[in-house]
Amino acid sequence: MKLGKNHIGFTYTAEGSKTFTTFNPKLNQPNDTKFTEASIQEIEAAVALAADAFESYKNTSNKEKAKFLNHIAEEILALGDDLITMYCLETGLPEGRAKGERGRTVFQLQSFANLLSEGSWVDATIDIAIPDRVPFPKLDLRRMDIPLGPVVVFGASNFPLAYSTAGGDTASALAAGCPVIVKSHPMHAGTGTLVAHAIITAAKKTGMPDGVFSNLNSSGIEVGLQLVAHSKIKAVGFTGSIRGGRALFDLAAQRPEPIPVFAEMGSINPVVMLQEELKKNTAFWAEAYAQSITLGAGQFCTQPGLILSLEGAIFTNFTKFLVDEIKKTDPNCMLHPDIFEGFKSNKKQSESQLGLEVLTDTNLAVTPNFAYASISRIDGDAFLKNNILHQEVFGPHTLLVACESLSQMKEIITNLQGQLTASLIATEKEAQVNLEIIEALQNRVGRLVFNGVPTGVEVCNSMVHGGPYPASTDSRFSAVGVHSIKRWLRPFSFQNFPDSLLPEALKENNPLDIKRTRI
């Protein structure tokens, strides 16, 4: 393996003149390896290979694709401690997290392999001919999902494994039959290269076409923009900031042939705490939320950044408990100095807003890149009027909003931007009499949690990770779970086709033995 080079299909190259390094935020110093940013020629080569690979890969059987995905999982595990060490060096995250995320990544790959092995994912429907129908005969029509074409995936800063090189976007696109080009995240380019190597090894071992996967190094925005603008690229997956995701969405929408961009972006994941439950279990919820707020240094898409409750003794008491819990937590290393600086400046901006009261001492001297969690409080009225406070502060920061009434709370929820999640802390009874609050939350989010925390995104069929803009650029899809494959598929219909020319999924005798709708 050639750390620092690009994977253009099965070939390692480093033709460009621009190099960069990753950074160890714990030691506050750059790592050694020099990564060579992909040149325009390398980008062209990767795209051309992907377009060629699509011609055969789109027809690769479920069984072969499943073998490929399972092999990727095996090759990632085979990287062993090298991967874990690199991950920790490049992120400042602890070994436990690295191993947990590796497990999740492997599980995701295996989940899509299982989906393929089962085979019904193509959503086959068959309308049989009715030759004697009047006034016109009905013709035989058979529909199934087919892949869109080459997909570009942008690695996410906060999930170097599960939402990056071989993460959910890559796994779902490869499962769909789409070749993938990853725009590697510059903060963990080494982790990305190791995983890319695992994917390429698996591709070779399982006989996949050269170009089914490429991994391009990039320290700025140019490589990504060139990829998204390329006429042979047919869809984009992105996890990151609103600014970044929107820029890609805009670029893709302005192409002569617009293409879909699924960008999972910012979210403050509002939490509504109702009186009865909050009073009954004050300490429990304070502890649970202190953990959720500070988990992974608050660097999760689903970090709870906003807690709404009615003003009064119960919320004041909870606030005390929560602040006490937060004060017990150690500062945590953030992913990169840039992210740490972003956190500090966004937090500062938030804390300077009119009416905002800072409840945690944020002026403690800290180790570089280590963030203390911060909690602030504001009245509902002041929050409602101030859109700056509706924006995400990426990191361990949460704003408590004391609402003067349930109707003000509803108004606040209605005026929030789209969110990935909302959570409701309530007794079943008080939830039943506050359906308007639940309705208002549902209108703004993709997932609603009852008596729990929003962090911890289960990878399963029923998970929705997405939501109204700007939680995502298209709320009609989820980025997590096997349903996420739908982002890369389009329906296709065969009319009056002889059985010999139909794909197996649609042949009359159902050789794949899959679930089909027959009419």
Token pair of 379, please? 């009245």
Catalytic site residue 88? no
Residue pair 289/322 in contact (Cβ under 8 Å)? The answer is yes
Q: Which is nearer to a second copy, 28 or 442 (CB)?
A: 442
Q: Contact with a second copy (CB under 8 A): which of 222, 232, 468, 510?
A: 468
Contact positions with a second copy (CB under 8 A) in 125-184: 125-127, 136, 138-139, 141-143, 146, 148
Q: What is the DSSP letter of 477?
A: S
Catalytic site residue 403? no
Angle at alpha carbon of residue 345, lines to 341 and 348, rounded to 5°: 140
Q: How much is the CA Rg of the chain, to the nearest whole Å? A: 25
Window contacting a second copy (CB under 8 A); options: 176-184, 345-353, 403-411, 459-467: 459-467
Window contacting a second copy (CB under 8 A); options: 177-185, 256-264, 333-341, 389-397: 256-264
Closest among 156, 210, 146, 204 to 178, alpha carbons compared: 146
- The rounded distance, in Å, linking the Cα atoms of 455 and 473 is 21
Q: Which of 37, 42, 264, 325 is catalytic?
A: 264
- The rounded distance, in Å, linking the Cα atoms of 101 and 238 is 18
Q: Which is nearer to a second copy, 81 or 458 (CB)?
A: 458
Q: Contact with a second copy (CB under 8 A): which of 341, 357, 458, 513?
A: 458
Torsion of CA 164, 293, 371, 243, to 10 degrees: 50
CB atoms within 10 A of CB 297: 26
Token pair of 99, please? 């191993």
Residue the block writes with tokens 């937060």: 326
Min dist. Cβ of residue 431 to a second copy (A): 6
Question: Could you tell me the CA-to-CA distances from 299 to 42, 332, 397 in Å, in that order?
Answer: 32, 10, 10
Q: Binding residues for a second copy, how many (CB under 8 A)?
A: 68
Q: Which is nearer to a second copy, 155 or 177 (CB)?
A: 177
List alpha helices for 79-136, DSSP H.
80-91, 95-118
Closest among 67, 414, 301 to 206, alpha carbons compared: 67
Window contacting a second copy (CB under 8 A); options: 76-84, 354-362, 370-378, 491-499: 491-499
Residue the block writes with tokens 């602030």: 376
Say whether residue 469 binds a second copy (CB under 8 A).
Answer: yes
Q: Which of 301, 325, 333, 392 is catalytic?
A: 301
- Coil, strand, or helix at residue 374? strand
Q: Contact with a second copy (CB under 8 A): which of 163, 326, 446, 505?
A: 446
List alpha helices for 259-354, DSSP H.
275-280, 282-294, 313-328, 337-351
Window contacting a second copy (CB under 8 A); options: 265-273, 286-294, 310-318, 446-454: 446-454
Contact positions with a second copy (CB under 8 A) in 30-89: 55
Compose the 361-390 pattern: x for residues touching a second copy by CB under 8 A, - for all others.
------------------------------
Say whether residue 192 binds a second copy (CB under 8 A).
Answer: no
Residue the block writes with tokens 């617009």: 258
Q: Contact with a second copy (CB under 8 A): which of 168, 304, 396, 466?
A: 466
Q: What residue ranges bind a second copy (CB under 8 A)?
A: 55, 125-127, 136, 138-139, 141-143, 146, 148, 249-250, 253-254, 257-258, 260, 417-418, 428, 431-432, 438-439, 442, 446-452, 456, 458, 460-464, 466, 468-470, 473-478, 483, 486-487, 489-498, 500-501, 517, 519
Catalytic residues: 264, 301
